[in-house]
Amino acid sequence: QFHKDGFLVLEQFFSAEECDSMRSQIQRIVAEMEVPPHCRTAFSTREEEQLREQGSSDYFLTSGDKIRFFFEKGVLDEKGNFLIPKEKSISKIGHALHAYDPVFKQITHSPKVQELGRKLGLERPVVVQSMYIFKSLVAVTPHQDASFLHTEPLGRILGFWIALEDATQENGCLWFIPGSHTNGIARRMVRAAAGASTCVEFVGSEPAYDDKQFIPLPIRKGGLILIHGEVVHKSELNSSESSRHAFTFHVMEAKGTTWSKENWLQPTPELPFPSLYT
């Protein structure tokens, strides 16, 4: 099913207790959050805003081996002070929770995740990034993960998306185009040349997708969605009163694979991509 559709829903993969432990841990991390004003960068998924908000920000570009905070638009005043409670201001926390936080590290490398990797035939999987996504109002436009995490050959990136609360059509569940992982990728986000006005730029452009091709994937708390790196997916805005927290991480099959030097995310001496298998 995964190879046919490019995604797979596994309900009740994690227990309610495991989900609650991740939510409790993120509350602690947010409570202790001290963000220097010059680092207060908003997270956006629209191309021009990505270039402006993230591209000019070294904070984003050097977040691959750190735990960093990315904010919704309009939650900070001109001086970088919060206009709303800080726990409601965050869009996501990334990108190395899997390496530096004990709760998220345990989930990422849990025996059932490792067993799933083996069932999928992954020989040398490494974890390249992780994110805690708060999902407030913003819609995420159609995209392919391999646009941001490029490998040679393609087909070596796999996303694990864990619902920490019920994800419904009202609060912004994921939508997919089944089978769209077989057509390659339409665009790439790459590091810009030295001296450019932004740190990243886009090569190619995302085609206009037919909305009727997307199918919604509501999933209950504790469910896991496996996401092929080239499958086209999106999420609509959260139009409900309920939140939709998720923890997600990406794995690369390292055997016979080259990680693009043009990717925004790069392994560092401090944090080489760790093996999924322990």
pLDDT digits (tens, 9 = 90+) for 153-194: 999 999 999 999 999 999 999 999 999 999 999 899 999 888
Domain count, the chain: 1
Does 45 fall in a domain?
A: no
Provide the 3-class DSSP secondary structure of residue 242. coil
Does 43 fall in a domain?
A: no
Instruction: Domain of residue 210: give its range.
Output: 1-16+93-259
CA-to-CA dists, residue 132 to 81, 212, 250, angstroms: 22, 29, 12
Does 247 fall in a domain?
A: yes
* Total Cβ atoms within 10 A of residue 126: 20
The overall pTM is greater than 0.85? yes
**What's the confidence (pLDDT) of residue 83?**
87
Local confidence band at 55 (pLDDT 50, 70, 90 cut-offs): very low
C-alpha closest to that of 275 among 13, 99, 18 = 99
Does 230 fall in a domain?
A: yes
Does 137 fall in a domain?
A: yes
- Domain containing residue 126: CATH number: 2.60.120.620
Provide the 3-class DSSP secondary structure of residue 220. coil
CA-to-CA dists, residue 154 to 40, 179, 273, angstroms: 34, 15, 18
Does 174 fall in a domain?
A: yes
Does 128 fall in a domain?
A: yes
- Calpha distance 25→70 (Å, rounded): 17
C-alpha closest to that of 181 among 156, 142, 144 = 144
pLDDT digits (tens, 9 = 90+) for 96-138: 999 999 999 999 999 999 999 999 999 999 999 999 999 777 7
**What's the confidence (pLDDT) of residue 36?**
58
- Calpha distance 3→120 (Å, rounded): 10
